[in-house]
Amino acid sequence: MIPGFRKENPNVDVKVEGRPYELVQWGEELKKRTSPYDVVSLGSEMTAAYAEPKLILPLDDYIQDEEIGIKEADDYNPINWEIYKYKSTDGTERTYGIPTDVNATIMYYRKDLLKEHSFRNPPKTWDEVAEFSKLTNDRPRMHGFLTQLTDWYSGNFFVNLLWDFGGDIFDTRTWELTCNSEEALRTLNFVKQMHTNYGVPGELNFNRFAFNDYLASKGVCAIAPCMYGNGVPQNPSMSKYAAVIGTGLSPAGPGGRYSMMAGVGCVITPRSRHPREAFMWIEYQQRKELMRKFVEETGQPGRESALSDPQMQKLPNARHFQTLSDTFKDKGARTKWNLPEEYEVEQAIGEEVFSVLVGKQLAKKALESLENRLSSIVEN
């Protein structure tokens, strides 16, 4: 994309530096206000953490600018804008990021195993997931259940299920802690049961690459019911089992069906000497006519017209796009809490859930510990 941008803007130079997603050095640079970058890709869940201390710039004026603003901004599903909004302590809500690469939790499943076990449709509830996992579980040849359970991922998985089971970490109307509830206890015990009975050995150390390995390369998992979307499992050039892997909305629980929103958006740092030109680069990447190029480079576009385009969905890494599109439009699509203390909150949740999964403490004790830790974090 850089040559096209330079041709259109010969007086603006662009240099792109790639860093691994897990690398947090650039985040520390933002906090210390030493970042050398004009534009940074930021995980959506960290919007408030960087917006409240003014470590990233509000972009509303640029978004609405008649000359350089985002064209056809209503082509994005509203929920994908919401994850980059933050209402600061002065009561003003502003937009701090552009939803360049969007995501949500969806379900992956083996279509051939559905047929083999006489399921007409993919599981729609967590009870059906448990039934399907039990029927397909034949370890070590086949595991009935797959997810990512390193501490941060295990916390995400727990929270997503907690919503489905009718609970939450906070009462978002009053911001009182609700993490030590009957719904939370039932959820955490269910997570432990699914992992113990049907999970893949080693999934306590899984990142997204290991997930793809077991589902797409080794083919030893029947269902991954609540995973962030990516194109590898259904990509014929990267997956031995692409032809028999399907996707669908994540399952529902007694409290409803919810999908956890996520993504990576472009933000502008306060140290940028050329914020207007930086936004011009962001806008250029997001033009409708360039979405195919963006997808070919493995992006998951925020634009609904690209996600739901049948021709786009034929690309090898875009077979799950319709499911993402359906998820973003579903009433159960929701964001996390978008707190300034988001990192510390998520870290605490992940560590306490992980301690239960590895047998260090019982679920009830972990939830009591979590309540105490979050009370200290939020009050401070």
Q: pLDDT 10s per residue in the chain (380 long)? A: 899 999 999 999 999 887 655 445 556 677 777 778 899 888 898 999 999 999 999 999 999 999 999 999 999 999 999 999 999 888 899 999 999 999 999 999 999 999 999 998 999 999 999 999 999 999 989 999 999 888 788 999 999 999 999 999 999 899 999 999 999 999 999 999 999 999 988 888 876 678 888 999 999 999 999 999 999 999 999 999 999 999 999 999 999 999 999 999 999 999 899 999 999 999 999 999 999 999 998 789 999 999 999 999 999 999 999 999 999 999 999 999 999 999 899 999 999 999 999 999 999 999 999 999 999 998 86
The range of the structural domain enclosing residue 270 comes to 2-102+260-334
What CATH number has the domain bearing residue 45? Answer: 3.40.190.10
Contact (CB, 8 A) for 218 and 236: no
In terms of domains, do 63 and 154 share one?
Answer: no
Q: How far apart are CA 63 and CA 346, in angstroms?
A: 30
Are residues 113 and 28 part of one domain? no
Q: In terms of domains, do 60 and 150 share one?
A: no
131 with 94, same domain: the answer is no
Q: How do strand 245-249 and strand 98-110 relate by DSSP bridges?
A: antiparallel
73 with 206, same domain: the answer is: no
Sign for the CA dihedral angle at 120, 124, 129, 131 comes to: negative
Give the residue carrying structure tokens 């970058």. 37
Q: 131-167 burial, b for 16+ CB within 10 Å, e for fewer? A: ebbeebbeeeeebbbbbbbbbbbbbbbbbbbbbbbbb
Domain shared by 325 and 250, yes or no: no
DSSP H helical ranges for the chain: 2-8, 25-31, 47-51, 60-63, 78-82, 111-116, 126-136, 151-164, 182-198, 208-212, 275-285, 291-296, 304-307, 321-329, 342-357, 363-379
Q: Does 145 share its domain with 194? A: yes
DSSP tally for the chain: helices H, then strands E:
16, 10
pLDDT value for 37: 87
Residues 120 and 238 in one domain: yes
φ, ψ of residue 216 to 5 degrees: the values are -95, -35
Which segments within 8-91 are labelled E, that is strand?
39-43, 85-87
The C-alpha atoms of residue 39 and residue 355 are separated, in whole angstroms, by: 37
Q: Residue 22: what pLDDT?
A: 47
Assess whether 288 and 365 both reside in one domain: no
pLDDT of residue 19: 63
Q: Are residues 110 and 233 in the same domain?
A: yes
Domain count, the chain: 2
Same domain (yes/no): 304, 213: no
Residues 138 and 234 in one domain: yes
State the greatest distance between any 2 C-alpha atoms of the chain, in Å, as a whole number. Answer: 63
